[in-house]
Amino acid sequence: MIVSTSYPSDDNDQLKDVQHELYWQLVPRLFAVARAELLRADEILDAKVLIAEKARAIERLDHRVLQDAHDIMAAAFRYGHDDGGQLRLLETEADRAERYRAAWLEWFETELEALAKMPRFVRSTVQAVVLANTELGYAAERDVGELLVSRYGFQQWGSADGYAKRYRQRSEP
């Protein structure tokens, strides 16, 4: 995870640190969930598509292909759930970090369940990993980024020079 500021007042460093600590656990989940959906569909249809075979064989992935997807989700979570680092009554900083950790993990998993129902997310996520470091892989990475930026409404609240600019909808100039 690249720890940065994604919108004005995005300055809760403890929340960003918690997300950064969980990065290596969550990025593989993006692929695992998408792959499971793709393999399920392939099995139901008995299609035996080549990408399913290749996805099934992947044991390790290049985290960089899904880094922006994770970071977009992390920024969206912060935007919607950041309490500004405010401690609750009788809460310690360690308690607050644990509260952030639990909330981020719960939101991420719930969001992954919803994304797994979106064929575009499943297809592009799997393609980004299977076709990593190829033109088709880069196109799939962009597609995942565009989908997430649109889903979370980055155009309305994100920094103008950040993800909203990088992942503009194709119909925009």
- pLDDT 10s per residue in the chain (173 long)? 888 889 899 999 999 999 999 999 999 999 999 999 999 999 999 999 999 999 999 999 999 999 999 999 999 999 999 999 999 999 999 999 999 999 999 999 999 999 999 999 999 999 999 999 999 999 999 999 999 999 999 888 988 778 878 887 654 43
On whether residue 37 sits in a domain, the answer given is yes
Which pLDDT score is estimated for 114? 98
Which pLDDT score is estimated for 166? 85
- Give how many domains the chain has, as a whole number: 1
Domain holding 62, by residue range, is: 13-84+91-164
On whether residue 45 sits in a domain, the answer given is yes
This prediction has a pTM of 0.92
On whether residue 145 sits in a domain, the answer given is yes
On whether residue 173 sits in a domain, the answer given is no
On whether residue 169 sits in a domain, the answer given is no
On whether residue 171 sits in a domain, the answer given is no
The CA distance from 81 to 77, in Å, is: 6
Which pLDDT score is estimated for 163? 84
Name 38's Cβ contacts closer than 8 Å, sequence gap at least 6: 51, 52, 55, 122, 123, 126
On whether residue 69 sits in a domain, the answer given is yes
Which pLDDT score is estimated for 171? 47
On whether residue 5 sits in a domain, the answer given is no
- Under 8 Å between Cβ of 41 and 118: no
Radius of gyration of the chain from its Cα atoms, rounded to whole angstroms: 17
- Under 8 Å between Cβ of 34 and 113: no
**Whole-Å CA distances, 18 to 92, 103, 113, 122:** 15, 10, 21, 26
